[in-house]
């Protein structure tokens, strides 16, 4: 069993200024490392949220020229920390984007890459509507990554609403689940804490869920409340409404303890149906 470690979740309010967003996020990563964090997780789209989809598509970069990647690879190597880039908008051959997460080790190497599978197409009240499929090409592969502390399962934001993904990650060996997000204020107030805690409880895993907060010049509001949750569903840290970071101690043995008490991952059954009755 691996030793206990500290994890941090960064909470920022990215707007349409890439340079400023990267500088502010780097400062928060440095502060989290100074607080002892060995794994530092950033939110979805931490580097840029544009006014509209057309502008986001126009500003997107291919992987080889995106400035966030070499910058945070260098930072990880300098700080001797693992850094999860929650997601970046990466231009791909189709002309659309991948909403892509990167895990960087303490030597600055990219050890895992995950493209968001479930895309956020919703119609909320008061005309609040989102069409991620207009600009983003969905991924089709679940991803786990080996870390010094055990296996980490990767996901992004709207994936949170699809529990079968997290069960598959846990069944594949994940002891920790990363859920970087930019949840809307509307859906976050209603569902964020409930869903994050549920994913932890269902799988007996720690959940690291860094989120974006605040209101942008465009008026888009994100919920914040980055969370670190233990395998029993207990909230160890909550980021509230403002930019900053949260940090918590992670005990890998807690995963084994909870999974022994409630071995639900061993109790899956094959079944048929449902079929209409009557």
DSSP codes, 38-93: SEEEPPTTTT---SSHHHHHHH-B-GGG-THHHHHHHHHHHHT-EEEEEEEEEE-T
Q: How many residues make up the chain in this entry?
A: 278
Active site residue 254: no
User: Is 199 among the domain residues?
Assistant: yes
CB neighbour burial string for 80-105, b if at least 16 within 10 angstroms, e if fewer:
ebbbbbbbbbbbeeeebbbbbbbbbb
Residue 278 lies in a domain: no
Largest CA distance in the chain: 66
Q: What is the mean pLDDT of residues 159-188?
A: 98
pLDDT value for 1: 60
Tell me the percentage of the chain whose pLDDT exceeds 90.
Answer: 90
Q: What is the pLDDT of residues 212-251, one digit of tens each?
A: 999 998 889 999 999 999 999 999 999 999 999 999 999 9
User: Which residues make Cβ contacts (< 8 Å) with residue 70, sequence separation at least 6?
Assistant: none
Indicate whether 59 belongs to any domain.
yes
By residue range, what is the domain housing residue 185?
5-266
Rounded Cα–Cα distance for residues 85 and 97 (Å): 16
> What is the residue whose two structure tokens read 């160890």?
236
Per-residue 3-state assignment (H helix, E strand, C coil) for 247-260: EEEECHHHHHHHHH
Query: Out of 6, 116, 137, 213, which one is annotated catalytic?
Result: 116
Comparing CA positions, the residue from 277, 187, 209 lying closest to residue 8 is 209
Residue 36 placed within a domain: yes
Give me the pLDDT at residue 31, please.
98
What is the C-alpha to C-alpha distance for residues 204 and 83, in angstroms, rounded to an integer? Answer: 23
Does the active-site annotation cover 116?
A: yes
What is the domain-level CATH number for residue 57?
3.60.110.10
Among the ranges 29-33, 50-54, 93-97, which has the highest mean pLDDT value?
29-33
For residue 275, tell me if it sits in a domain.
no
The verdict on residue 273 lying in a domain is no
Token output for 6? 């500290």
Q: Dig out the tokens for 276 from the structure.
A: 């209409």
Residue 96 is a catalytic residue: no
- 43 falls within a domain: yes
Of these residues, 9, 41, 157, 213, which one is catalytic? 157
Q: How many domains does the chain have?
A: 1
**Residue of 38, 44, 132, 137 marked catalytic:** 44
64-83 per-position pLDDT tens digit: 999 999 999 999 999 999 99
């Amino acid at each position: 069993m691996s030793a206990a470690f500290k994890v941090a979740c960064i909470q920022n309010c990215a707007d349409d200024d890439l340079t400023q967003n990267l500088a502010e996020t780097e400062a928060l990563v440095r502060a989290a490392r100074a607080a002892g964090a060995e794994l530092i997780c950033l939110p979805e789209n931490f580097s840029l949220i544009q006014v509209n989809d057309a502008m986001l598509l126009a500003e997107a970069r291919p992987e080889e020229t995106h400035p966030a990647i070499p910058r945070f690879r260098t930072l990880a190597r300098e700080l001797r920390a693992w850094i999860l880039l929650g997601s970046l908008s990466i231009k791909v051959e189709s002309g659309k984007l991948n909403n892509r997460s990167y895990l960087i080790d303490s030597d600055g190497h990219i050890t895992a890459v995950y493209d968001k599978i479930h895309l956020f197409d919703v119609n909320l009240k008061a005309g609040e509507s989102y069409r991620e499929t207009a600009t983003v090409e969905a991924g089709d592969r679940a991803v786990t990554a080996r870390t010094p502390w055990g296996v980490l399962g990767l996901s992004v934001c709207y994936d949170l609403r699809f529990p079968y993904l997290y069960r598959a990650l846990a069944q594949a060996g994940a002891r920790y689940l990363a859920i970087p997000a930019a949840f809307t204020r509307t859906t976050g107030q209603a569902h964020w804490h409930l869903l994050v805690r549920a994913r932890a409880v269902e799988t007996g895993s720690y959940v690291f869920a860094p989120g974006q907060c605040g209101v942008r010049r465009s008026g888009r509001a994100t919920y914040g409340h980055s969370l670190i949750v233990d395998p029993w569903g207990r909230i160890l840290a909550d980021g509230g409404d403002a930019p900053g970071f949260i940090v918590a101690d992670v005990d890998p043995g807690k995963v084994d303890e909870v999974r022994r008490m409630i071995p639900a991952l061993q109790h899956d059954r094959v079944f048929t149906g449902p079929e209409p009755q009557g």
